[in-house]
């Protein structure tokens, strides 16, 4: 009996496979702990790309449009349909290895999904580049154009970038080398130019997919990124409390478009300007999820979110940054709390090290607040100047005290004169 069990176990263990290959994997199902707080932020609304959301009943209506675009892309192509499909077939094992989830599709089924999705996106990017908007179902309707663009940023809605490049380079070889078509990477940068604040086009080998490209737009160049140290961000005091201690908030105008460049000197905390709109949570959540899964020791965006979460605990903290021009809120609807947005994105995150610059800023802010003069100033403001009535009463009290002192001094002088 024992031998039979041992034999069965041996056969079972021979077939054992890891969840995914660490080196190859770059597209992840967002971890449950992070996903559960806002599932919609990780789920495409208009179009599915890749196998993770393929077959979603709410996205089926776009399949015909994807096929229509694909047909036009193939008609543009210098290579035959057979050659293009063979290209994807050769890449199928590499493609499958890029996903953290087991893909329940046969090799041929996966090739079809990837091929249609890649051709669709290549055609979309070319039409956007060539400004072919007339009568175009996607590009001529701003709501659909925007919706598709945000869907293409989602971490679970990705195809590896190298697949696009292989198909694109095969399909348009002479036109790329002849200068009539840009590289696929440049085409992608142009399409996502709304998110790009003047960052140079990256080398394609350094970008895994479109979520990774968006993260690249936000990060400073690799040689300018601060070092990282072990520790955790402990600020101790929110923006409104820091103001009470005399800290001033200003927009960091020397950040060159990088929202991560924070500075604290001479009692002034400088933070780059950021526009917070209805899709900010979606964008931050997907980059943070990518960093949690793919950049566990290099999570600069996660650090930024964590710092702002500690700085902006409540709506009155957000008001401090809004009045300083640091945050520009364009959120609509009933729930427009900037503080809640950052706090929600920061939930259930695991960090192994921290941006050394942020650690220093936290230490400097705590030291500034603890300085005896600043502590007394914070106490005065908190106890006597928190509301207009308290301020008026405190000022009246001070004036009354001064008048009493003056009257006392005058009385003493009068007595001395009479003597």
CA angle 289, 95, 79 (to 5 degrees): 125
- Read off the pLDDT band of 1 (50, 70, 90): very low
pTM of the model: 0.85
- Read off the pLDDT band of 305 (50, 70, 90): very high
155 close to 286: Cβ distance less than 8 angstroms: yes
* pLDDT for residue 178 is more than 90: no
User: Minimum mean pLDDT among 142-156, 220-234, 282-296: which range?
Assistant: 220-234
Only one residue has tokens 């793919």, namely 294
Strand ranges across the sheet with 248-251: 248-251, 268-271, 263-265
Give the up-direction half-sphere exposure of residue 41: CA atoms within 13 A in the CB hemisphere. Answer: 23
Give the model's pLDDT for residue 334.
56
- What SS3 class is residue 139? coil
Per-residue pLDDT, averaged over 352-369, amounts to 94
Note the pLDDT tens digit of each residue in 2-26: 578 888 888 888 777 776 666 889 9
Report which of 266, 268, 267, 273 is spatially closest to residue 251, judged by C-alpha positions. 273
Instruction: Please classify residue 326 by burial: count the beta carbons closer than 10 Å to its beta carbon, then call 0-12 exposed, 13-18 middle and 19+ buried.
Output: buried
* pLDDT for residue 380 is more than 60: no
CA–CA separation, 396 and 401 (whole Å) = 8
Note the pLDDT tens digit of each residue in 121-141: 999 999 999 988 777 889 888
List, in order, residues 6 or more apart from 105 with CB less than 8 Å away: 51, 54, 113
Give the model's pLDDT for residue 3.
78
27 close to 100: Cβ distance less than 8 angstroms: yes
* DSSP string for 353-399: -EEHHHHHHHHHHHHHHHSHHHHHHHHHHHHHSSSHHHHHHHHHHHH
CA–CA separation, 91 and 111 (whole Å) = 9
CA–CA separation, 162 and 155 (whole Å) = 16
Instruction: Please classify residue 336 by burial: count the beta carbons closer than 10 Å to its beta carbon, then call 0-12 exposed, 13-18 middle and 19+ buried.
Output: middle
CA–CA separation, 117 and 113 (whole Å) = 6
Provide the 10 A C-beta neighbour count for residue 201.
Answer: 17
Tokens encoding 160: 């590896």
Give the model's pLDDT for residue 262.
95
Instruction: Please classify residue 47 by burial: count the beta carbons closer than 10 Å to its beta carbon, then call 0-12 exposed, 13-18 middle and 19+ buried.
Output: buried
Give the up-direction half-sphere exposure of residue 293: CA atoms within 13 A in the CB hemisphere. Answer: 29
Strands 268-271 vs 263-265: parallel, antiparallel or unpaired: antiparallel
Directed axis angle between helix 372-384 and helix 388-418, to 10°? 110
Tokens encoding 13: 């263990």
Note the pLDDT tens digit of each residue in 16-68: 777 666 688 999 999 999 999 899 999 999 999 999 999 898 899 999 999 99
CA–CA separation, 382 and 43 (whole Å) = 44
Rounded (10°) CA dihedral 180, 184, 189, 194? 80
Q: What percent of the chain lies above the pLDDT cut of 70?
A: 88
What secondary structure letter does DSSP report for 220? P
Per-residue pLDDT, averaged over 185-211, amounts to 90
Note the pLDDT tens digit of each residue in 200-231: 888 888 899 999 999 999 998 887 889 999 98
Provide the 10 A C-beta neighbour count for residue 358.
Answer: 23
Tokens encoding 153: 């940023």
* Distance in Å from the first CA to the final CA of the chain: 120
Helix ranges (H only) for 59-106 are: 63-76, 81-97
């Amino acid at each position: 009996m024992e031998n039979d069990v041992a034999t069965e176990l041996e056969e079972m263990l021979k077939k054992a496979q890891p969840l995914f290959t660490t080196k190859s994997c770059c597209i992840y199902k967002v971890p449950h702990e992070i996903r559960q707080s806002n599932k919609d932020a990780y789920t495409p609304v208009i179009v599915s790309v890749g196998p993770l959301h393929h077959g979603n009943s709410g996205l089926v209506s776009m399949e015909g449009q994807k096929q229509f675009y694909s047909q036009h892309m193939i008609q543009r192509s210098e290579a035959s349909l057979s050659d293009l499909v063979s290209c994807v077939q050769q890449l199928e094992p590499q493609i499958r290895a890029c996903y953290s989830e087991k893909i329940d599709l046969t090799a041929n089924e996966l090739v079809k999904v990837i091929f249609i999705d890649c051709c669709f996106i290549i055609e979309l990017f070319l039409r956007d580049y060539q400004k072919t908007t007339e009568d175009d179902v996607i590009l001529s309707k701003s709501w659909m154009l925007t919706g598709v663009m945000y869907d293409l940023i989602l971490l679970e809605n990705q195809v590896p970038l190298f697949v696009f490049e292989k198909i694109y380079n095969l399909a348009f070889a002479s036109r790329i080398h002849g200068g009539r078509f840009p590289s696929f990477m440049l085409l992608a940068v142009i399409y996502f130019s709304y998110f790009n604040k003047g960052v140079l086009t990256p080398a394609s080998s350094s970008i895994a997919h479109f979520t990774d490209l968006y993260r690249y737009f936000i990060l400073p160049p690799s040689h300018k990124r601060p070092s990282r140290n072990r520790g955790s961000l402990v600020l101790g005091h929110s923006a409104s409390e820091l103001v009470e201690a005399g800290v001033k908030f200003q927009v960091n105008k020397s950040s060159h478009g990088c929202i991560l460049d924070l500075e604290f000197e001479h009692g002034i905390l400088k933070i780059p300007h950021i526009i917070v709109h209805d899709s900010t949570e979606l964008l931050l959540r997907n980059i943070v999820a990518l960093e949690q899964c793919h950049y566990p020791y290099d999570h600069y965006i996660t650090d930024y979110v964590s710092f702002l979460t500690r700085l902006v605990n409540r709506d009155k903290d957000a008001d401090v940054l809004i009045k300083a021009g640091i945050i520009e809120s364009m959120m609509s609807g009933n729930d427009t709390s900037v503080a809640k947005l950052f706090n929600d994105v920061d939930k259930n995150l695991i960090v192994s090290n921290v941006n050394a610059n942020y650690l220093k800023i936290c230490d400097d802010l705590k030291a500034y607040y603890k300085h005896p003069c600043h502590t007394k100033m914070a106490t005065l403001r908190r106890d006597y100047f928190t509301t207009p009535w308290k301020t008026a009463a405190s000022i009246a009290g001070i004036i009354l005290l001064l008048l009493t002192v003056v009257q006392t001094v005058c009385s003493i002088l009068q007595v001395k004169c009479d003597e």
